[in-house]
Structure 1
Amino acid sequence: MDNLTHSLVGAVIGQAGLKRKTGLAMPALIIGANLPDVDAACFLWLEGAEHLGFRRGITHGPIAWVLLPLVLAGLLYGWDRWQARRGKRPEGRLPVHFGWLYALSFIGCLTHPVLDWLNVYGIRLLEPFSSRWFYGDVLFIIDVWLWAILGIGLWLSLRREKHGGDWRKAGQVAMAAAVAYIGTNAIITWHAENVRGANFDQAIASPVPLAFWERELIIPNSGVLDERPPLILSQTIIDGVLGSTEQPPAFDASQCGTASVPASDSEVSAFLFWSRVPFLECDESGRIVVRDARYYHPSARGRFSVLLAKSQSERLIPTDPSS
């Protein structure tokens, strides 16, 4: 999920009552809820699509769940002590207990992979013990309705706290409402994949922006080119929210020229490692592009695609597409 959602979840957990357990509880919860995204630093050394195969991995797995909160709790504890030595510690801050700081940092950090699992992008929950991707297909990666539930609940809680009211209850109601909303979306996804997609071996129900009650049903074609993961030779059906179908064009290698394509092996390997429903397509210049059906819409194509170099095209594309 986006970082605003992660931050709101951490803040609402604090307003549900946990922020009174120790000083600096809110920073522990909010920063902890965002901490696994430190893997975004990979943009400093990875190129092109390579980041797709790196992110949501090692910093989102079990070892990180333990170590990242420990680092955060240590930094916050040290910050409090540093302020106290310099006489700049706020008078209204509660006493800081390292144990509670670690527990709250851990809770905040744990909410991150749970939320990331909810969308179609995927997460490697068991890294480094396993590189398997897990997908919840429950929420769109940016969910404005979840923003509204958590944001309004946070505002009401802070407002009640300012006026001496029961601010904990507002936070608790917001958390309950968020859980109920997520559960409702899980039921919608299950219905789309198991009822609408009942006649297919595989069906991916992809949530769409704004209309949380709708699902874009992706049915991968059985014709594949590579073994792991498959490249779709012919049409992958994307059943749109209005009942129409949008289909990637059938791949025709004879229409694509690949001599000037500059993609590297590492980019393609990373893309295929990340991709869930990959397929081949010719772009406007006649070059071969690998895309993913989850992100076939024009707004996402540039960020979720990779060009094939000539050597890769010769390796991947058979002379007879039916072979």
Structure 2
Amino acid sequence: MITTDHMLAAALVGEVALRRKLGWAGPIVAAVAGLIPDLDQVAIALFADGPFAYLKHHRGLSHSLLFAPVLAAVVAAVACLVCRSRKFGWMFLAALAGVLCQLALDWPTSYGTQLLNPITTTAYALDWIFIIDLYLTAILIVALVLVWRSRRHGGDYVRTGVRGLAAATAYLLFLGALHTMAVDRLDRQLASLGVDRDEVGQTACLPVPLMPMVWTACYTTPGRTHMGLVHVMGDAPIEFRILADAPPSAAIAAVGDDPRADAFFDFARLPVYEETIDEHGVSTVLVYDARFQGYMPGWGWVRRRPFQLRAVVSPDGRVVSLDRSRWAELPD
């Protein structure tokens, strides 16, 4: 999720659970802690090496449930120094609440979050919500405003805050239910089309921004990635567009075997391959993740590829260069 939503949710938890123990420091420490895990992007830019360092490390250890207490302890220690407070335990709880809000909101997205790093670098993703969701943002903002207004007028601001958190949670669960309906629609259509399930590789239903009733349905078959829109409240069949893979080749196999590409292929859930060969027999292999080619309201199907691997392979099968190609665009 966008960082502002992390901070808003964390501030709301801080108001509900820690305002009475820490005063203004409760929601502020929680909100700051809700930002901290995303600072891994700064660390990656400064210290990580390799073309796919961002894909390997973002939402990695800093977003782990196992590392959350460490981050919270650091934030709490700094908060105690800044506030000249001896309430380390309460500061720690405020910071831990903020960090966990970050993880709780990142997990339902499609990007993937390494919740159990360093035990495993598996990225968990529920595919429930787009990274920017204005409806959730509005719920959190309204809840915070009502909490502040209630507290200012001597009302039961804790109850107000709990209701706000319940509304945000209910919205996320509502999206989860819609996602389940979209997946069911996709499965039923594949069955009605007579698609051989043994030929289907990956399937996914991904959120469409601002349109909770519409989802991008994806499935892969050998050499093809199929994408279409699922309207969960309608009965219209899904009309699929096809992203064609290049046929298997020695060059594509060489790229897949190159350890420098491991981070990319660990990240890409729906890889699509393209290959061109010049007059000298040199192959250029492009691989992008179809997960980021979904539908955007007012824009249509996304043409830009935010994460793309580009490799040059010599005629003898040697990978001459391998790098990340930034913001490439799909051809017409």
- For residues 311 and 53 of structure 1, the distance between their equivalents in structure 2, rounded to whole angstroms, comes to 27
Equivalent residue number for residue 328 of structure 2: none
- For residues 59 and 300 of structure 1, the distance between their equivalents in structure 2, rounded to whole angstroms, comes to 31
* Root mean square deviation of aligned Cα: 3.0
Q: 1:238 aligns with which of 191, 202, 227?
A: 227
SS at match of 2:243: coil
What is the deviation of 1:46?
3.7
Closer, same or farther in 2 for the Cα pair 1:311/1:282, shift >3 Å?
Answer: closer
Are 2:291 and 1:294 equivalent residues in the alignment?
Answer: yes
Structure 1 segments of 4+ aligned residues over 6 angstroms from their partners: none
- For residues 74 and 66 of structure 1, the distance between their equivalents in structure 2, rounded to whole angstroms, comes to 12
Equivalent residue number for residue 210 of structure 1: 210
What is the deviation of 1:299?
4.9
Q: What aligned pairs does 1:96-245 form with structure 2 within 5 A after superposition?
A: 97-198=87-188, 199=191, 200=197, 202-221=202-221, 223=222, 234-241=223-230, 243-245=238-240
Are 2:272 and 1:279 equivalent residues in the alignment?
Answer: yes
Closer, same or farther in 2 for the Cα pair 1:125/1:300, shift >3 Å?
Answer: farther
SS at match of 1:15: helix
- For residues 313 and 175 of structure 2, the distance between their equivalents in structure 1, rounded to whole angstroms, comes to 43
Closer, same or farther in 2 for the Cα pair 1:75/1:215, shift >3 Å?
Answer: same
Equivalent residue number for residue 38 of structure 1: 39
- The one-letter code of the counterpart of 1:272 is F
What is the deviation of 1:160?
2.5
- For residues 112 and 147 of structure 1, the distance between their equivalents in structure 2, rounded to whole angstroms, comes to 14
- For residues 172 and 93 of structure 2, the distance between their equivalents in structure 1, rounded to whole angstroms, comes to 25
Equivalent residue number for residue 62 of structure 1: 65
Closer, same or farther in 2 for the Cα pair 1:153/1:311, shift >3 Å?
Answer: farther
- The one-letter code of the counterpart of 1:289 is L
Identify unmatched segments of 5+ residues in structure 1. Answer: 82-94, 224-233, 259-264, 317-323
Closer, same or farther in 2 for the Cα pair 1:131/1:311, shift >3 Å?
Answer: farther
Q: 2:244 aligns with which of 241, 249, 273?
A: 249
Q: Is the 8 A contact 1:65 1:110 kept in 2?
A: yes
- For residues 195 and 96 of structure 1, the distance between their equivalents in structure 2, rounded to whole angstroms, comes to 55
What is the deviation of 1:315?
6.6
SS at match of 1:197: helix
- For residues 311 and 173 of structure 1, the distance between their equivalents in structure 2, rounded to whole angstroms, comes to 62
SS at match of 1:25: helix
SS at match of 2:288: strand
- For residues 313 and 159 of structure 1, the distance between their equivalents in structure 2, rounded to whole angstroms, comes to 71
- For residues 67 and 122 of structure 2, the distance between their equivalents in structure 1, rounded to whole angstroms, comes to 16
Identify unmatched segments of 5+ residues in structure 2. Answer: 192-196, 232-237, 253-257, 295-300, 320-332
- For residues 14 and 144 of structure 1, the distance between their equivalents in structure 2, rounded to whole angstroms, comes to 22
- For residues 314 and 9 of structure 2, the distance between their equivalents in structure 1, rounded to whole angstroms, comes to 47
Closer, same or farther in 2 for the Cα pair 1:188/1:311, shift >3 Å?
Answer: farther
- The one-letter code of the counterpart of 2:265 is L
* More off after superposition, 194-203 vs 126-135: 194-203
- The one-letter code of the counterpart of 2:65 is P
Closer, same or farther in 2 for the Cα pair 1:113/1:184, shift >3 Å?
Answer: same
- For residues 127 and 248 of structure 2, the distance between their equivalents in structure 1, rounded to whole angstroms, comes to 32
- For residues 312 and 147 of structure 1, the distance between their equivalents in structure 2, rounded to whole angstroms, comes to 52
- The one-letter code of the counterpart of 1:42 is I
SS at match of 2:227: strand
**Which structure ranks higher in relative contact order (CA pairs < 8 Å, sequence separation ≥ 6)?**
1
Structure 1 or 2: larger strand share? 2
Equivalent residue number for residue 71 of structure 1: 74
Equivalent residue number for residue 28 of structure 2: 27
